[in-house]
């Protein structure tokens, strides 16, 4: 698997590209279904998916860790490339709040 990040020329957004070589050939639709399922299930609140054209300004202030641009998913046999947008400052602040809440729930009440 390989990943690269691109600095977008705006105040505060980023784009990550993840390329993975899977065990079997897939289609972009299959990848989209898996990512949507994750976003609706175990990664709810962390991962969202869209097929709408996305630009850097669209993700400013969003709380999720990644918004996958399904329209830009590329598949060639077992090789899959997915692009995801995020706002590093907002996403980081929300993840800190998530961890703080988790720690608070795990601490003994006294």
Would you say the C-alpha torsion 38, 59, 2, 29 has a positive or negative sign? Answer: positive
Our count of domains for the chain comes to 1
CATH number at residue 76: 3.30.360.10
Residues 91, 97, 100, 102, CA torsion sign: negative
* Residues forming a β-bridge with 74: 81
The candidate with the shortest Cα–Cα distance to 49, out of 23, 84, 21, is 84
Domain extent for 101: 2-106
pLDDT in tens, the chain (110 residues): 666 666 656 668 888 899 999 999 999 999 999 999 999 999 999 999 999 988 888 999 999 999 999 999 999 999 999 999 999 888 889 999 999 999 999 998 87
Distance of alpha carbon 95 from alpha carbon 64, whole angstroms: 9
């Amino acid at each position: 698997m390989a990943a690269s990040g691109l600095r977008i020329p705006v105040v505060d957004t980023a784009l990550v590209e993840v390329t993975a070589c899977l065990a079997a050939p897939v289609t972009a639709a299959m990848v989209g279904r898996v990512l949507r399922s994750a976003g609706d299930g175990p990664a709810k609140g962390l991962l969202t998916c869209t097929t709408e054209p996305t630009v850097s300004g669209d993700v400013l202030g969003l709380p999720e860790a990644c918004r996958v641009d399904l329209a830009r998913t590329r598949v060639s046999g077992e090789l899959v490339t997915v692009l995801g947008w995020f706002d590093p400052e907002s996403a980081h602040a929300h993840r800190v709040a998530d961890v703080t809440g988790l720690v608070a729930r795990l601490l003994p009440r006294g």
